Amino acid sequence: MNDNALHTVEAQVREQAAAYCESNNVPGFVVGVHHAGEQIIVAHGTANVATGAPMLRDTGFLFGSVTKVLTTTLVLQLVDRGLLDLDSPVVKYLPDFALAVPGAADKILVRHLIGHTNGIDADLYFPDDKGRDALKAYVKGLASGCGTLFEPGEQLSYSNGGMIVAGRLLEVVTGMPFHDLLAREIYAPVGMPDSGTSAEQAILRSTAVGHFLDLETMAPKPTNMFTLPDTWGPAGGTPIGTIADLLAFGRTHLAGGVAPSGTRVLSAESTALMQQVSYDMDSPNTPPIGLGWVLYPFGDTTVLAMSGASPGGVSLLCVLPEHDLVFAAYGNNPGAIMLQDQILQWLLSEHLGVQIPKLVTEMEQDVDLAPYVGTYRSNQLRIDVSIVDGQLEERMTYEPADESQERIFTEFAGGMTSAPPQRYVPIRPGLFAPAGYPLEAFDGYLRLLLVSFHDVRDGQARFRNGGGRLTRRA
């Protein structure tokens, strides 16, 4: 990348960030691009409105679910060393692993954990344990409280539970706590000097906090909860770092497993395996998945991506092997995901010259809505689908298992326990768009807003898919 092109990217990103944050009440945003040996980082706004601390280029933030790619990298490191076999049952290494459905855990392979095809129904299971035994407590709790959504390998559903079980598996095989393993095997060799795994570490340096909109004043207010419990570490609850650190990790995957420092972190074979399609639902709202990475098709270009929600914040890491580019961003309000999508599409179309085809080109008018009506459930989540004025209407309700779960989820969601009803219009049988959105809104990362229904039997869909997550007909 020549200096002029780099200057253009920096100026454009700075302009987009300032305009979006100003008009959408996002307090702060930090973004980085590495392309062809050159790198820029742009910071805008405020890291914490309570203190007025500015968002800086080296301000830390919660990685959220971007951590899942780090966890997957740790698993593949053990495969490289001959300590794990992807096609062995998890219980071979983790005999205590069980689910509420007898025998169900025995069928889950190591590969299913990191490929989101395990079927563990635990997406909103938040046990509030701390310290070295947090993941052990999480796995123990699965046996009494969490069942299955589908047979392993039968479907694809974004899985926090699978990644957390993978984290516990890492602990048992290596004899090291997950956080220590992450620091030793990822942070150090990759070159992520400003990354940590706790609020205690984060407070020693500049760190952003998430914000939610105050519905009375419409002003952003800081979250009441900085991180999710330690039990969610491997899925993204606790790791914290900077844009430069995430770019270094992305560059490691860009370079076939070799870190910017020259240290080999992962074999070329395992790095490539993570980037290969391991499951494809063949539905526009759910991109194919590799191991750890989600594989977003933008025309002929594949974007390896993972986004990460944290309490009041959202991060994104994208690696484009075909274009030698890494993109990382964080905004300290959930609405920043729209800005991340906007910048990603600008980088693709304007900077790289990638043609982004329309994902949805037309809507079918006469789609039978009856097969999709009903109640769908997953762990502590209920979705009621009905027909109202010729459109599908969904009502989503959180049903907490206990007071502890309710407290954690409510704080994570900024005080909301149910969403207002949402209407959907048919694109084609089994695929729906939220009413009122322009069709081009779904060309990029926000294709996750589309809803699909799957496995229609006897005139009824068995599964609903929203945001890559399945709920099953009750």
Q: What is the mean pLDDT of the segment spanning 97-120?
A: 97
Report the C-alpha gap between 137 and 145 in whole angstroms.
12
Q: What is the mean pLDDT of the segment spanning 292-303?
A: 96
- Residue 427: phi, psi to the nearest 5? -95, -45
At 268, which CATH number?
3.40.710.10
Q: What is the mean pLDDT of the segment spanning 35-53?
A: 97
Phi and psi based region of residue 198 (left: phi greater than 0; alpha: psi -120 to 50; beta: remaining): beta
408 & 468 share domain: yes
253 & 347 share domain: yes
Average pLDDT, the chain: 96
| Domain finish residue from 311, 332, 357 | 357
Instruction: Dump pLDDT digits (tens) for 243-276.
Output: 999 999 999 999 999 999 999 999 999 999 999 9
- What pTM did the predictor assign? 0.97
Q: What is the mean pLDDT of the segment spanning 431-459?
A: 94
**Does the annotation mark 65 as catalytic?**
yes
pLDDT of residue 161: 98
- Residue 385: phi, psi to the nearest 5? -110, 125
Q: Tell me, yes or no, whether 362 lies in a domain.
A: no
Query: Which of 346-376 are b and which e, b meaning 16 or more Cβ less than 10 Å from the residue's Cβ?
Result: bbbbebbebeeeebbeeeeeebebebbebbb
pLDDT tops 80 at residue 121? yes
Residue 198 and residue 181 in contact, taking contact as beta carbons nearer than 8 Å:
no
353 & 468 share domain: no
pLDDT of residue 2: 56
90 & 2 share domain: yes
pLDDT tops 80 at residue 212? yes
pLDDT tops 70 at residue 1? no
10 & 133 share domain: yes
345 & 439 share domain: no
265 & 342 share domain: yes
Report the C-alpha gap between 164 and 156 in whole angstroms.
17
pLDDT of residue 5: 81
Instruction: Dump pLDDT digits (tens) for 217-250.
Output: 889 999 999 999 999 999 999 999 999 999 999 9
What number of residues does the chain have? 474
Q: What is the mean pLDDT of the segment spanning 3-27?
A: 92
At 380, which CATH number?
2.40.128
pLDDT of residue 416: 67
The count of domains in the chain is 2
301 & 351 share domain: yes
Instruction: Dump pLDDT digits (tens) for 309-338.
Output: 999 999 999 999 999 999 999 999 999 999
258 & 325 share domain: yes
Residue 283 and residue 431 in contact, taking contact as beta carbons nearer than 8 Å:
yes
409 & 301 share domain: no
Where in the sequence is the domain holding 88, given as residue range(s)? 1-357
CB count in 10 Å sphere of residue 394: 20
Report the C-alpha gap between 108 and 151 in whole angstroms.
9
pLDDT category at 103 given cuts 50, 70, 90 is very high
- Poorest-confidence range of 1-15, 70-84, 209-223, 309-323? 1-15
| Domain finish residue from 357, 379, 414 | 357
Q: Tell me, yes or no, whether 363 lies in a domain.
A: no
341 & 403 share domain: no
30 & 62 share domain: yes
Task: Determine which one of 65, 157, 195, 452 is catalytic.
Answer: 65
